[in-house]
Structure formats: structure tokens, C-alpha cells
Structure 1
């Protein structure tokens, strides 16, 4: 394989998109972090709080789907800018007195703005890196989510403890506007875009064939299980630490960082190991498909043990390790989809993939809230919810292991497309 040189400016754009994802996940985590004071002020029961967590994802998938097609025709530079403006403006209504309805509406708007974030950022990034160099930049991009939590949680928790959860939202709005200014100054569109010559060598494949390919289905299934765990962490983790295990709000803030620190290590390791495996001749089936699926299964087994151990410390350790292993799948799935998807269809396919797997975000917080509300004790409800999470992770990892064969997908799809009647 001939390795192309990295384009000048590629790592600057990677860093800006890393910051983009950092702001994205800081926006997501604030409701989890402020969950207990929000429930107290607005007098919410667990089911209502679960609904609040799910509301963020009501338009998340639809937006990801729609924008996935838009970025096939409009420069990603302007789409990223528009999304970041929406994120920032959606935070400011929470600074003053707010009702439950207003909070829900603002979270729905924020979710609509953030739904396409990772897919569009990946599509933008891949305009700067050739296929054989995409895994590590994808891993760095995914790290924005971890660092968005690692860096934001101490600052936001300090604001919540010493001032008010309302001001935490306002601070995020200001940070979002700062990124908008930075992107206006330094953001550029990548040069690796579709040309006439590339289009001739890279013919369109019917979307039905792309979306029913086993690797696409495997990516959706595996990422669904991972996102179930992620959305629970974004909504319920801090509340569990306080209400389930008895920690204070101040201590819970620091504990909330732990899964994301561990997850950051896993994601970087997965990206590095995958790239090393590819340079040493491994197929993308092994270097991407197997590497992303196995941690999901192992993480599910670890989480499955949590209700059966004693001691808050050990339970926190298992809750950190189990879901933390899930992040590897986000590193490998976009490059796998990029392997067999024609460039002019890539934005839409990655957007559809994101729309499908993030549907877990609607279900997971609400299911956990419902289980807690109807359990004999809150702790029992939490443990039942985490057991459901563990089973979903294991099943999704097994499906990924079974279905992810990106190294043979492209040739098969192109052969199918060539065999179709010209009018099809």
C-alpha cells in the first residue's frame, strides 16, 4: 500500500474538531452533573428525569439523518459553524428561572443541533486524511468527548456547588461562542473531495445495498450497545453516585470524571493499535471489526458483575471499567464505513449510521428512570438498569463480531451495483 503524505493544515483542523467535540460533550454532561439539584428544584421524580435525559435525543437521530445528506452538497465548514451557534444559543435560557417544559424544549433544540456532530466532523476530517491514515485522527476526534467531560466536570461542578446549576448552562453557552469565533478564523474545507475522475473510478452504489450490507448493520448494532451505556453515563451516573452510593455532590463531581479518563485511554489505545495492525498487514476485519467488538463483550461481562459485589468503591470500579471499554467501537466504525462507501455518499451513510445507533439515547435514560421509579429501592432500580445495559452491550458486541467484514464489503457491493440493470 502506498502511503500518501499528510496534508498541510490537517492536524490544525483535527485539533479544532477535537475542541468541537469537547464542547459537544460538555453540553451533554451538564444535566447528568446537575441532576440532583435539578430534580430538587423542579420536584421531578425518576421517570420525569429520565424523560428529560431522553428528550435530548428526540430530534438527535432525525437531525443526524437529514444533515448527513446536506453535507454531501454543502461544505462541512458552514454546517459545523451553524451547529455550534445552535448549541451556544440553546444554553442561555437556563440561566434564569426555568420551568421543566422550558428545560425540555431547550434540550430538544440542543440535541437537534448536536445530533449530526460526530458524523459531520468525521466527514470533514476525512477530507484531510487518506484512508490508511484515518484511524488515529478519528481516535483523536473521539477524545473530544472524553476531554469534554474530564475538563468540564470540575469547572461545572464548582459552579453548581458554589453558585447554581443555572450558571453552569450559561458558561457552556459562552464557551460555545468562543469555538464559533475560532472556527470562523481558522476553519477550512479539506482538499480530498470528489472529483470527476474520482467519481468515474468510484461509482455510486444504491443506498439500499449500502444500508443492508452486513458491515453497516454490524456497525449500527455494535454502536447501539455502546451508546446505550454512554447515554446512561450522560444522564444517570452522577445521580447514582449520590443517591445510590451516598457520595456528596462535591465528591460525585470528581468520581464522574473517572469513566471518561479510562475511556480516553481506551479510545487512544484502540486508534493506535488499529493503525499499527494495519501497517503490519492485518486486514481491516481484524484491525477494526474484531478490535472494536471484543471490548464491548468484555465490558458487558464486567458490568454484569456489578450488582453482585459489595462495597461502593468496587461498584464504582466496575462501573468505570465496563462502559469505559465501549469507546473502541467509535474509533473503528467510521473508517470501516468509509472503506466501502463512495466518497460522494459517505456523509449520508455516516449520518444514517449515527441516526440509527444514537436512537439508544432516547431509550436508555427513560428505561433507567422507569426501572428506578418502580423498584423497591432506588439502589435496586439502578442495579436492574445497569444489568439491562450489560446484556445489551454483550449482544451488540457479539453482533459486531459476527457482521463486521469491511475488507470484503467494497468488492461485493461494487459487483452487486455493476450487476444491476442500468435503469435500477
Structure 2
């Protein structure tokens, strides 16, 4: 596959899918951004708000697995379109007066629609780029999450401060429908699904072998820790800035952008370094596995210092840097899985991977809410929650360093699949 040209139009599709992820993460961040107004308006305590944050992920994983198998048979173009329509329609009930139950149900529906988003988008991009050119477009796709927050936080916070949190949901619904129109006009299916090189490599491997391979397990373990930090950032970062550190809602909106700006830099840098390393002959063990997992360990160590320092500026800096470093793992894991997964099975495998690591999104927000509720002070609860986060990041990074060997995985699985048994 080395030297295979990139089809015309690949970067246009990459940009559209980047915008797809921008909308996706703007939808995710709105509850955390409006956390304090929502808690005040609906009279919610910390544990109930944690349940609201976790509810988004209730059907997230199940949906990701189901849709992962669907995209093995149906063009990703139409699946992406259907998901974006669901996201948009799920926002509009919050425009008017809404109960906690209604908000909870809409977030569950939104989560079901967004669960497969990154996996399906990555699968779609891989139909436009050969393996050795996938790391950079994956990094750009991942940047949709950061830019979704960077662009959405100031705009949505302005709406929340000057109008209400209800209107912020309506804005997101309209933006989602705008992407639907753009995708209908410009979205296409990639041509690389049936190239000669991929057909030659199209030996099916039993799913049990793929899902129990050490690199698959390593990807799930490492990204679980990263997603724990991300889901806390989506749900609890802005409330921490307001309730824990005493900033106003307007000030918190500006500060809430910082982790995503830093994370965006890390992701782009990782994508660039990985691609350079590959062109210089490094194995994907080093250029993807080690490069993605090591920052998790470092980030967890930095985050562990947070409860032991004083001064809001230093505390914010440690939280931003510690949690932002874990963005590297999102860039490298989908390409690693794509290395050894047959094309006809890739959509399902990447989606199952996404379904497993996003289970952290169910556990992390509600755990933080429970810890805050039962702590002597909200600030003490937040610090305990971030310490738990630090330990999980370090553990997941270590597991990644031990288990991520995609180059040898490919050889082992291909050799096993070549044998006549069970294939």
C-alpha cells in the first residue's frame, strides 16, 4: 500500500467530517457549560447533575456497536446524515420550559445519536486515505472535538449569559441542520474500499481474535483513561471554575476554552510527529503506540499535583495541562486498529473500541457528582475527584505502553487467519 495516491476530494471530505465533529462536541459541552444555571433553575444537587452528565452516555456504547456493524454494509454517507438529523432534533425540546426528566431523556437520545460519531467518521475517512497517510487526517478529525468547544464555548456562553441556557440548545439544533444540508450537497463515499491492495488483504479474521488481541485491549484501556478526563471536562470543568474557584459564569466561559486549546495543540502535534516518524522508518509501535500512551502517564502525574498547590491560576494550569495531554491517544488508536483489521470488519471493530472506552463517560461524571455531594466542601470534593482521575490516567497509560504493538499484531493475526481452521 506504500505510495498509494490520495484520491481527489479527500481533504474536502476531511473538512466536512471535521465540521461534523465540531457540532458533535458543541452538543456535548453545552450541559457542562450551562451547569450552574441548569442546577439553579431545576433545583438539582451535585449528584443529580452528575446523573445528567452520565445520562448522555447511557446508550452511547450500545449505539456505537450497533451502528458499527451497520456501516460494514451501508454507505457511511447515509449513516452520518441520519446521526446528524437525530442530534439536531434532540436539541429543540429544551428551547422552552423543560423538566429534569425531559432534559434527561433528550440527552439520552442525543447520546444514542452521537455514540458512533467518531468511529463512523474515522471509518469514512479511511476510505479516502491509504494506511500510511491516515494519522494526519485522523488528527484533524479529532480536532473537531477541540474546535467544537473552542468555537462553541464563547458563543454559547454569550447566549447563556445574555438570554438563557434554553436558547443555547436551540442554536445547536439549527447549526446541526445546517451541517445536514452541507453534507447532502457535498458528502461522498470514499473510493478506497475496493482498491486492489485492500482486496488482496481482505482475509476475514474472527471477531474474537480481533477483540482479544493485545493491541485492541490496549487501545480500549488507554483511551478509557483519556475519556474519563474528557467526560469530566465536558460535565464538570465549568461548574468547578464557578463553584470551586469562585469565578463568574462569564469568566468561566472564557477559562473553559483553555483545556481545548491546549488539547488541540497536543493532538495536531501528535499527528504530525507520528506521520514524520513513520516516514523515517519507525515502527507503528513507537510512532503510534508509545507516542499515544506516554502522555497519559505524564498527564496523570501532573493532575495528581493539583490538590497540593494553592492559587487559582496554578490550579487551572495544572488541570489544563494534565487533562490536555491525554488527547494524543485519540489520534493513534484508530489507525492502529486499522492496521490489522480487514476493511470489511473495520467499521465494527473501531465502533466496538469506541463503545468500550466511552463507558468512562457513564462512570466519571456521576462519580464526581457523588464525591462532591458527600465532601465537606465542594472544593474538597472536586479535588478528590481529580485525584481519582489522575490515578486512572496513569494506570491506563501504563497499560497502553505494555499492550500497544500493532505492527506485530498484524503479522500474528494474518498468520492465524491463513490457517484453515475456524476462518
TM range (shorter): over 0.9
Does residue 319 (structure 1) correspond to residue 319 (structure 2)? The answer is yes
Q: Say how many residue pairs are matched.
A: 423
Indicate the residue corresponding to 2:280 in structure 1: 280
Matches of 1:359 and 1:395, distance apart in 2: 16
- How big is the shift at 1:111? 0.2
Cα deviations across residues 208-252 of structure 1 (Å, max 9, x unaligned)?
000000000000000000000000000000000000000000000
Q: Match of 1:14?
A: 14
Q: 1:374 matched to which residue of 2? A: 374
- Whether the 8 Å contact between 2:87 and 2:176 is mirrored in structure 1 is yes
CA distance in 2, matches of 1:23, 1:243: 27
Task: Give 3-state SS (helix, strand or coil) of 1:236's partner.
Answer: helix
CA distance in 2, matches of 1:37, 1:268: 34
Residue 201 (structure 2) aligns with:
201
Normalised to the residue count of structure 1, the TM-score between the two structures is: 0.98
The normalised TM-score by structure 2 is: 0.99
Matching of residues 81-92 of structure 1 within 5 Å = 81-92=81-92
- In structure 2, list runs of 5 or more residues that go unmatched: none
Q: What SS is found at the alignment partner of 1:193?
A: helix
* Deviations 1:115-140 (CA, angstroms, capped at 9, x unpaired): 00000000000000000000000000
1:46/1:373 contact within 8 Å kept: yes
> Contact (CA 8 Å) 1:299, 1:322: kept in 2 or not?
yes
Tell me if the contact between 1:194 and 1:344 (Cα under 8 Å) persists in the aligned partners.
no
What displacement does 1:420 show?
Answer: 5.0
In structure 2, the partner of 1:354 is 354
Q: Does 1:66 align with 2:66?
A: yes
Whether the 8 Å contact between 1:68 and 1:349 is mirrored in structure 2 is yes
Q: Does 1:25 find its partner at 2:25?
A: yes
Q: Tell me, in whole angstroms, the C-alpha distance in 1 between the residues paired with 2:194 and 2:314.
A: 52
Gaps of 5+ in 1: none
Residue pairs, 1:31-180, within 5 angstroms:
31-180=31-180
Cα deviation, residue 6, structure 1: 1.7
* 1:60-103 deviation per Cα after TM superposition (whole angstroms, max 9, x unaligned): 00000000000000000000000000000000000000000000
Task: Provide, for residues 23-82 of structure 1, a one-character-per-residue CA deviation record: whole Å limited to 9, x for no partner.
Answer: 000000000000000000000000000000000000000000000000000000000000
Distance in 1, Cα, partners of 2:275 & 2:35: 39
Aligned-residue Cα RMSD (Å) equals: 1.0
Query: CA 1:4–1:195 in 2, change beyond 3 Å: closer, same or farther?
Result: closer
